[in-house]
Amino acid sequence: MRIRDAENLPKPMVQIGLRPLLWHVMKYYAHFGHKDFILCLGHRADAIKNYFLNYNECISNDFILSAGGKNLELISSDIEDWRITFAYTGINSNIGQRLKAVEKYLEGETEFLANYSDGLTDLPLPQQLEHFRRQGKVASFLCVRPNLSYHVVSLQEGTNLVADIHAIDNGDVRVNGGFFIFKKEIFNYIGDKEELVEQPFHRLLQERQLMGYPYDGFWASMDTFKDRQQLESLYATGAAPWEVWRTNGKG
């Protein structure tokens, strides 16, 4: 089943606790000092714009109310030091097209971070960045074990007898976790209307310019109603793994 009550919302705007998934992803990056965001908007761009245009800091922060509601004092703040560029990149554009559409907003940058905004992790981002810079390649992406309940099956050739069966997350299978680091040169590899992980990534492969960053800590994507329930359950504990701004100090 899909995410039920969010059929008309972009997936990043589906609520997890008090805030949408997109906010949790942005809060993660902001915790590590990356607070200049470009949102590549498409389906229901208005929902994302209106959310931030009408942002209420009190929803996710402690505050003091006095004088019968006339005075409001925030004890902490989420987004006062964030800079967000809202860029419409088309309803049917693929990831490669969306990146190309915002290249003009990256003037002066030598590298940048990119994200699908449909997954959460407790990845220590500075470690991935340090690894990326040390390797000197054009691109790096998070490689994680899939959070799926499927079993991988190996068959004996010619007999169809099962040689092996194991849960997909207990094997050597890794998937693209959707957390990317790129040098600006990535745009030289993306042709017109090309999907990022298809032709551009294969060009990088041929030139040995693509790094995977394996990580076995917490990672979860939100594609189904069940995924949302699991994330909501983790959030309800008060110690959701991806909330590194709570567990790793001030954020």
3-state secondary structure of 138: coil
pLDDT value of position 251: 46
What is the gyration radius of the CA atoms in the chain, in angstroms?
Answer: 20
Give the integer Cα–Cα distance in Å for 182 and 200: 12
DSSP class of 92: S
The amino acid occupying position 4 is R
Residue range 2-17: average pLDDT?
78
Q: In the 8-state DSSP scheme, what is residue 68?
A: G
Is the pLDDT assigned to residue 247 strictly greater than 80?
no
Give dist(CA 17, CA 236) in Å, integer: 7
pTM, 2 dp = 0.88
Give residue 145's pLDDT.
Answer: 87
Helix ranges restricted to H, the chain: 21-31, 45-53, 95-101, 125-135, 199-206, 225-236, 244-247
- CATH 3.20.20.150 is held by the domain 4-247: no
Specify whether the CB–CB gap between 122 and 214 falls below 8 A: no
pLDDT of residue 174: 87
Provide the pLDDT for residue 239.
Answer: 84
In tens, the pLDDT along 142-158 reads: 999 887 656 667 777 77
**C-alpha dihedral sign at 175, 132, 184, 52:** positive
pLDDT higher than threshold 90 for residue 130: yes
pLDDT confidence band for 165 (50 / 70 / 90): confident
The average pLDDT across 102-126 equals 96
The residue among 77, 87, 89, 90 whose CA lies nearest residue 30 is 77
**In the predicted model, what is the mean pLDDT of residues 91-108?**
95
